[in-house]
Structure 1
């Protein structure tokens, strides 16, 4: 009896998310009803999927639950997501997971430069003016920001703000939140970039430089918290350039030019993206 392990192991079908059966993983926070989601066999896949992509709750959850699960991530190996299924039910399994191992094959600076170069080849003078002062010249990634708060607490606060949208809970077996967008098979930016792994590489870089955390996903949306945002106009402008390469639709959603968008994100502790 002395060797009896009474630690709260992963409940229900959650161990299926791990190739090793979730050895050593524990979760103490009670979960609402839910189940794992398997990719649709008839849906175009990025790889042969040997297991479920993620777990999803049956009903909307609170931001407080997200926060508790986020705090348990180091022990559970499960990154929480607030999932908006108003346009496409996540439980339908219309997802195409990509290997997390491939994310490291992409360099954010190369992704940004490629997007900028392809756009510059056919950009009009008016379009180039929208990206002033950079225009046709890619400025490259911005310097890192300085965190003024704990990144986890900033993420928790953003999750509580999002809970009013009635979002479901997703759990993904990944070591860091940025990897979740590839692991769940999210295709929200498909019209911008065919693969999700390069976008995950960019988000990894934002985790490192701006203490960003992935909080929520929708059919074609992404919600990040940011504990080290740019606070000067110059820094915000270069970060805005990164955002444009990541999601060109940001200019159509808001002020129409890079300078105006930079003003919007200066000092802001959350970044929201939407792809047409």
Structure 2
């Protein structure tokens, strides 16, 4: 059963429940403290907070541009199998581009999971701070608060039927990876755009070997991060992951 948070007497902005997919969606733009303020609704209703970013330039809306029926459930997948498959697919594309140097020091064989990080702070407090910083920097323009009826933050993209990574992978596969990152690195899904995902990271890698190991997983998860922003995985690990508490992913 989904509880309508409007009926709980919480200090929420005006908003309404949507049916398919099921979510509560605010009527007003998010403020700097919005994500953190939604935690009380999570405790009361079991619905997890996320900021949903509209793209007015392309007339995309959170009413229409979701497809639950064509997204698998993360319960149906095995983490290692997912990452091996995604890594192999990316390596095939790398080979086609004659760009094998991109993955050094790795080889086309899947290198295995990165070790868990040590938390720097509480995961929810980190998420609230990262969300506030992104809003303050203007990186979440037209964002509105959302509450999604899921068991954990990592399941939000799949539960919404989000199609942002559809040119790379089924969203259910990526939520499987996000679940593991939630366990190992204390991530929270902070914001969804129509082709971008922002997560907070409470336990980021703090050495280059650890950052490289995480970078391999990122390259399988979202190869455009490296292909369209950095020359190599090593550069990506150093500049985008080392001690960073915000990870962002973008799919072409």
Pair in the same fold by TM > 0.5 = yes
5 Å matches for 1:1-276?
20-22=1-3, 27-39=8-20, 52-86=21-55, 87-97=58-68, 102-121=73-92, 123-124=95-96, 126-163=98-135, 164=138, 165-193=141-169, 195-264=170-239, 265-276=241-252
Q: 1:67 to 1:209 in 2, by over 3 A?
A: same
In 2, are the aligned partners of 1:154 and 1:226 still within 8 Å (CA)?
A: yes
Query: The residue matched to 2:68 in structure 1 has which SS?
Result: coil
Q: 1:100 to 1:89 in 2, by over 3 A?
A: closer
Q: Give distance in 1, aligned partners of 2:182 and 2:213.
A: 17
Structure with more relative contact order (C-alpha pairs < 8 Å, separation 6 or more): 2
TM-score after normalising by structure 2? 0.88
Return the offset for 1:81: 1.0
TM-score after normalising by structure 1? 0.81
Give the structure 2 partner of residue 13 of structure 1.
none
Flag structure 1 segments of 5+ consecutive residues without an equivalent: 1-19, 40-51
Return the offset for 1:36: 2.8
Larger radius of gyration: 1
Query: The residue matched to 2:200 in structure 1 has which SS?
Result: strand
| Structure with more of its chain in helix, by fraction | 2
User: Which deviates the most, 219-228 or 53-62?
Assistant: 53-62
User: Which deviates the most, 86-95 or 224-233?
Assistant: 86-95
Q: Give distance in 1, aligned partners of 2:190 and 2:53.
A: 11
In 2, are the aligned partners of 1:142 and 1:235 still within 8 Å (CA)?
A: yes
Query: The residue matched to 2:147 in structure 1 has which SS?
Result: strand
Query: The residue matched to 1:207 in structure 2 has which SS?
Result: helix
Query: The residue matched to 2:119 in structure 1 has which SS?
Result: coil
Q: Give distance in 2, aligned partners of 1:88 and 1:161.
A: 26
Return the offset for 1:55: 2.1
User: Which deviates the most, 83-92 or 72-81?
Assistant: 83-92
User: Which deviates the most, 70-79 or 229-238?
Assistant: 70-79
Aligned residues: 244
Q: Give distance in 1, aligned partners of 2:131 and 2:97.
A: 41
Return the offset for 1:211: 0.5
Q: Give distance in 1, aligned partners of 2:9 and 2:77.
A: 35
Return the offset for 1:124: 4.9
Q: 1:23 to 1:72 in 2, by over 3 A?
A: closer
